[in-house]
Structure formats: C-alpha cells, structure tokens
Amino acid sequence: MKICAVLLAAGEGSRMGHIPKSLLMHNGESFLYRQLNSLRQAGTQSICVVTGYYFQQIEDALHEIMHQDGTDKTLIKILRNPAPDQGQQSSVELGLTSINPDCNAVIIALADQPLIDAKDMIELLTAFAQRPPGKEILYPVVKGQRGNPVLLSGVVLRAQQSQSGRMTCRDFIDTHPDLVERWHTDNDHYIIDVDTPQDLERLNKG
C-alpha cells in the first residue's frame, strides 16, 4: 500500500495553558518527534504536518528534526492553517487536500498522543488491510471509547478531495456508518492524549 499521513499540530492548547502541545516532552523526546518517528517506521511514504497556533515554534522544530535526522525533504510537507480557530476539522481538510490522490491509505493522526509508537501504527495498518469488503474507514475503539488515529481509504480520500468545503471529514464519517470499520482493541494508547498539565503529569509518572 502507498500510505500517506496527516499529522495535526495546529491546536491552541488552551487547557494546557496556551502552549504548543506537540513540543511537550516525554522520555526525552518531543511529542512531535515521537509521532513523526512512529509514522516513518510504520512505512508512511509522505507526511503532511498541519500547523496553526504557534506555527513558528513548531515549524522551527520540524526543520530541526529533518536536519538532524537527515530526513528526505519529500517525506514531510508543512502546511499552515491560516484559520486554526475554525477548529480541528479545518486542519484535517487542509491536510487532505495536499495528499496525493494515488494513496491507498491515509492516516489522520494527532500530535498529542505520545504513547503511540510504530508497533501501534503497524497494528492499525494491518487491521485496515484486513478490513471487511466495503469498509473504507477504520478507527480504533478501546473499551467503548472511540480512538485515534483514523484511517481512510483512497476511495474516501478522493471523495473528500472532490467535495472539499461541502462536508468535513468527520461529518462524512458520521453520515456514512456503513463504510466504517470500528476496530476493537484493548490497546489504550489509541485513547490517551494530553490536554491538561494533570494529563502530562500522569503520563510522565507512568
């Protein structure tokens, strides 16, 4: 499969005290680095990172990561959401418009899920590859809770690109339940994100 990804790093981080959550650290690495590394190790061939609030800090960090790792500059593309206050879906839509329509699978990932590693990404991609016929969207469900990342097929990607602006990706998913595979797993990495200082404290204690 040709796998592409949209990594969302445009949020305001208001509950964290108005700081860029993607630059928070866990085990000596930024959340941003950990997510990029997980996506790369899982075989993703292109990653679009959507910035917004704190774009300068995050984009500087991205350039530093690419320089230090010697990352092929065709692997990571940076897109800046000019109106991040319009919410996460505006960043999703921006990212999807930049994805090559030839992709077979698109991972929509959040930059504030630092526990997700390459193994978790590969498990998700394996579940996607083994999904039942007719299912074009997959997301993990852990103990009844909807998780992330979300995976879209190339069919859904092209449908979204052709009708951009008329329906958000989340709306498309919610209005096409017949296309959705809810992949049930006990892996709580898919539902752990960091929104508050208390979340960060629990993460680092764990």
Q: Is omega for the bond preceding 177 within 30 degrees of 0, making it cis?
A: no
The whole model's pTM is what? 0.95
Check whether 74 has a pLDDT greater than 80: no
What domains can you pick out in the chain, each with its CATH number? 3-205 (3.90.550.10)
pLDDT single digits (tens) 96-112: 999 999 999 999 999 99
pLDDT single digits (tens) 19-53: 999 999 999 999 999 999 999 999 999 999 999 99
pLDDT at residue number 156: 94
Check whether 6 has a pLDDT greater than 80: yes
For residue 201, give the 3-state DSSP assignment: helix
> What's the CA gap between 142 and 144, in Å, rounded?
5
pLDDT interval class at 69 (50, 70, 90): confident
Decide if 106 contacts 46 (C-beta within 8 A): no
Q: In 3D, which of 148, 147, 122, 114 has the Cα closest to residue 26?
A: 114
pLDDT at residue number 165: 64
